[in-house]
Structure 1
Amino acid sequence: MKRLMAVFGFCFFTTSANAAPSINIGTVYDYLDGDKSTYLKRVFNGGDSTAFVKVNILEILYDADGTSREVPLKTQADASARDGLMASPARLIVPANGMQGTRLLYMGERDRERYFRVRFVPVVPEKEDEFVVSSQEREEYKKALSAGVTVLAGYGAVFFVRPKETRFDSVIENSAGNYRIRNNGNTVVVIDEFKDCSVKNEQDCQPTTKHHILAGRAFQFEKLPGREYRFTVIEGTATKKLEVKG
């Protein structure tokens, strides 16, 4: 098996194959509310062979200048002392045209918001991968992937763990040439389905985008004449649709 690339949370591998799994993890952004400690994440397999999927977790840390880095979680022998996000199980066997779920469990303090990258990586199972399959089953699976070339695609989700005492406080500044939303709360605010379109021609639109405003940060855009901007502000379970004209 040869690794080709890993970009923006997507991991691609090649291997010989007749039939191949094709996984889908649904949404790539998930949010754990302040009063919850577990979250069920489902993995779907629309391919025509079984998918063996590893679940890997890294913590995303943001620096003062807004740049981010992903670091491994610290492991603790004592489960009660663990601090971070865990997946149970961390190895999934997803049948063709089937679904399996893993429960994401957060353990640790909830005084601030934390962020994690959860990667779902399909593999050809090896002994050290700890999948509950026999040596014979592993060999039969490899033989089934014996002709042609296929791509095993893995996906990365971003997981937001909100603080226990969640507080939303979005402040809007609407000036003549700019529109700004500042997040004065302590948890992420989502700007969903942001559309920048011409007032006179509804077909003249920029690609629709999604934005996350972290606590203490802001989202803004320039208001151009003849353009209108439509988007939804999401604060937890509360949503508000807005329309701004340039």
Structure 2
Amino acid sequence: MINKVFNSAEEAIADVWDGSTILFGGFGGAGLPYEIIYALYRQGAKEITAVSNNPGYHEEGIAKLIAHDRISKLLCSFPVQKDSYVFREKFNQGKVDLELIPQGTLAERIRAGGAGIEAFYTPTGVGTEIAEGKDEQEFDGIPCILEKAIKGDFAFIKAKKADRWGNLVYNKSGRNFNPVMAMAGKITIAEVDEIVEVGELDPESIVTPGVFVQRVVKRS
């Protein structure tokens, strides 16, 4: 019988290793898997390459990992915001590297990673620092740069409901980066508000099929 439900967040993330690449779902605080992130903080893995839309606020979410020097590199669209002082401090101290990625390009690089597309060309970033060192080609008179897919050893995501097979339903704006990150992680761990029996989820409402999810944890 397929059952992807784990008893705790600690159990679900126990095998995350030093140097892992982790995709962190969420947009601001919406759809952010807080309990999994804090379990990772307690577990102690370090030298993490983190992929996230932003670096967290105050010392919440991944900002807590950054504050305690667990993240060595961040791939991110919005690294500098009013309440993202932890990242600014660590970046200025040279304790965390940054790869700045336009938001649409970030989403597409992650989607490509999940779809088996190793790279693609986009006009976004041409003529800016984003384009430095990247191959440039012209298509129908439009200059484009080559962007490589992003994949993760793990994807930490948040959903509203799951069944034991790992099928997921999201809550409105909580959907954001979570579905594409679920596809791009080798091991996808979903933190959910509710776990229901197989067959209870409306098939038309399932956004992430269970084939992309390896572990499910119910929020405490």
Instruction: Using structure 1 for the length normalisation, give the TM-score.
Output: 0.23
Please tell me whether Structure 1 or Structure 2 has the larger radius of gyration of its CA atoms. 1
* Higher normalized contact order (CA 8 Å, seq sep 6+, divided by chain length): 2
Instruction: Using structure 2 for the length normalisation, give the TM-score.
Output: 0.25
